[in-house]
Amino acid sequence: MIAFRRLTLAVVAVAGLMLSATHSFAQQRPDVGDQPGLIPDDTVELDPEYRKQVVLYRTTEPPGTIIIQTAERHLYLIQGNGRAIRYGIGVGRDGFQWQGILNITRKAEWPDWTPPPEMIARQPYLPRFMAGGPGNPLGARAMYLGTTVYRIHGTNQPDTIGTAISSGCFRLVNADVADLYERVPVGTRVIVRQKPQL
């Protein structure tokens, strides 16, 4: 009987170690940026740095332009008179950051999500299609950038704002993306910069 108890304890201990190692590995995986079906926790409180606010912002770009400062984790909607509305964002993880100038070519409320083939190749567990709704990783709104696979969109993971976790898209909390969505039309110029503004 004692030998059986020792064997049982040893099996439980090994199982616990394996489960712990699996959990640790899952947390380190670089491809866990999207969690389909996760319902957002609207009680998440953003760091003051990433809350929507009007700020001083010098630029020669005209009002209505969006400037994304990837390194700062901020999106600026230029207002003119040296001011901009600043939103906190989540950005692309290492290897998925980019810069350039595009235009918003389409807008969608509670968009459906069809992960592109290259994302499916990296993350085969993702659904091939997901209807829009609270558990959709694109969140409440999406603004599509040029003819690329990149978007400015909401998120079902508000705790990722301020981090580098996406596959190249820019995510805002749902309240902020809905606010931005109402302020910008299709055709809006979007400038994505990697380096902080001097």
**pLDDT tens-digit series, residues 131-142:** 999 889 999 999
> What's the pLDDT at 198?
58
* Per-residue confidence band for 29, with pLDDT thresholds at 50, 70 and 90: very low
pLDDT at residue 13 tops 70: no
pLDDT at residue 107 tops 90: yes
pLDDT at residue 5 tops 60: no
Structure tokens at 94: 């290492």
Q: How far is CA 130 from CA 35, 37, 134, 137, 174, in A?
A: 11, 9, 11, 9, 18
Report which of residues 150 and 2 the model is more confident about. Answer: 150
* Per-residue confidence band for 53, with pLDDT thresholds at 50, 70 and 90: very high
Q: What angle do CA 78, 149, 127 make, to 5 degrees?
A: 125
Average pLDDT over residues 168-185: 97
> What's the pLDDT at 14?
39
In a domain, 188, yes or no: yes
In a domain, 158, yes or no: yes
In a domain, 187, yes or no: yes
DSSP three-state, residue 151: strand
Q: How far apart are CA 32 and CA 119, in angstroms?
A: 11
Q: How far apart are CA 80 and CA 176, in angstroms?
A: 20
In a domain, 105, yes or no: yes
Domain that holds residue 122: 37-193
DSSP three-state, residue 8: helix
Q: Name the residue type at position 125.
A: Y
Report which of residues 19 and 35 the model is more confident about. Answer: 35
In a domain, 2, yes or no: no
Q: Any alpha helices (H) in the chain, and if so which ranges? A: 2-28, 117-122, 174-183
Counting residues of the chain whose pLDDT is more than 90, the rounded percentage is 69
In a domain, 157, yes or no: yes
Whole-number average pLDDT of the chain: 85
Question: pTM higher than 0.95, yes or no?
Answer: no
Structure tokens at 107: 């807008």
In the chain, the DSSP E strands lie at 53-56, 66-69, 74-80, 83-88, 91-92, 100-109, 141-145, 151-153, 164-166, 170-171, 189-193
Q: How far apart are CA 98 and CA 45, in angstroms?
A: 28
* Tally of structural domains, the chain: 1
The domain spanning residue 99 has which CATH number?
2.40.440.10
In a domain, 184, yes or no: yes
Write out pLDDT tens, residues 60-94. Answer: 999 999 999 999 999 999 999 999 999 999 999 99
Cite the active site residues.
Answer: 153, 169
In a domain, 143, yes or no: yes
In which order are the strands placed within the sheet that holds 141-145? 53-56, 83-88, 74-80, 66-69, 189-193, 100-109, 141-145, 151-153, 170-171
* Per-residue confidence band for 188, with pLDDT thresholds at 50, 70 and 90: very high
> What's the pLDDT at 119?
87
Kindly state the DSSP code that residue 49 receives in the 8-state scheme. G
Kindly state the DSSP code that residue 10 receives in the 8-state scheme. H
DSSP three-state, residue 50: helix
